[in-house]
Amino acid sequence: MRLSLRNGKNYPPIEIQLENGKKLELEGKIDRADFAQTPEGKYLRIIDYKSSVKNLDLNEIEYGLQLQLFTYLDAMCKQEDFLPAGVLYFSLIDPIIKADQRMTKDEIAEEIRKRFKMQGFVLADVKIIKMMDQTFESGSSNRVPVYLDKEGNISPSRSNCLTKEQFQILQRHIEKTIQKIGMEMTQGKIQPNPYYQLKDQKTPCKYCPYHGICQIDDNFGQITYRYIPNQKKEVILEKLAGERKEESYENKLSRD
């Protein structure tokens, strides 16, 4: 189902209380939210429809980009005690496939379905994954970014799966990032601070028409880029897990 997070709609706006007493209210729309009731609890999967091919990159998430889907997931999990099942992008590009005359209609339909395979992250739980792809037994799923070996176990290196704890770590990281952005905004920090992807040398400044307004001048080296490294998923998750442990330890010390 499609959901709106704003006053008078399905869910209220997401409220984020800042350390300086101010409050952020975030409104948004979830293109599709799926729910599944299980004996362990109610699972939530969020899907965003895209007119291009898009994937979730933990490097970007760590550096404060691609916050939207995890923010929605976090807000809804907190409000309703849902368990995270996945955050995914679904590309709306009409696929063209190569078919020969021997292919049956079902085979062609399956080929088309493969092109609609969603990108993002799902929960590392085979039972939940099979609820998303009901005919999936082993190999690569045509629906979600998961590969199961012959024994039916998730292959971590060929899948984009997160444990429940890893979802929580990312949700907490994003909450902290939004807190930081909120504090900077309310303190009047307005200096341009565009990102620069080291992986493919990509920056929004290259195509942006507002150079004259933000006064950024590439030629005089005045740009303070946020350089986004190209780290492996495991490295990022380990780093964020370490930060979470440190944070819990500091909280415990301040309570004692």
Nearest to 196 by CA among 67, 62, 63: 63
In the complex, the smallest distance separating the C-beta of residue 231 from ligand SF4, rounded to whole angstroms, is 23
Judged by beta carbon, residue 13 or residue 192, the one nearer ligand SF4 is: 192
Region label for 27, one of left (φ > 0), alpha (ψ between -120 and 50) or beta (otherwise) = beta
Judged by beta carbon, residue 131 or residue 205, the one nearer ligand SF4 is: 205
Kindly compute the dihedral angle of the four CA atoms of residues 79, 1, 92, 157, in this order, to the nearest 10 degrees: 50
Say which residue the tokens 């370490």 belong to: 242
Any alpha helices (H) in 201-232, and if so which ranges? 211-214
Can you tell me whether residue 90 is helix, strand or coil?
Answer: strand
Binding site for ligand SF4 (CB under 6 A): 192, 194, 204-205, 208, 210-211, 214, 216
Judged by beta carbon, residue 104 or residue 220, the one nearer ligand SF4 is: 220
Residue nearest ligand SF4 (C-beta atom): 208
In the complex, the smallest distance separating the C-beta of residue 223 from ligand SF4, rounded to whole angstroms, is 7
In the complex, the smallest distance separating the C-beta of residue 227 from ligand SF4, rounded to whole angstroms, is 14
The token pair at 228 is: 């986004």
Judged by beta carbon, residue 49 or residue 210, the one nearer ligand SF4 is: 210
In the complex, the smallest distance separating the C-beta of residue 183 from ligand SF4, rounded to whole angstroms, is 20
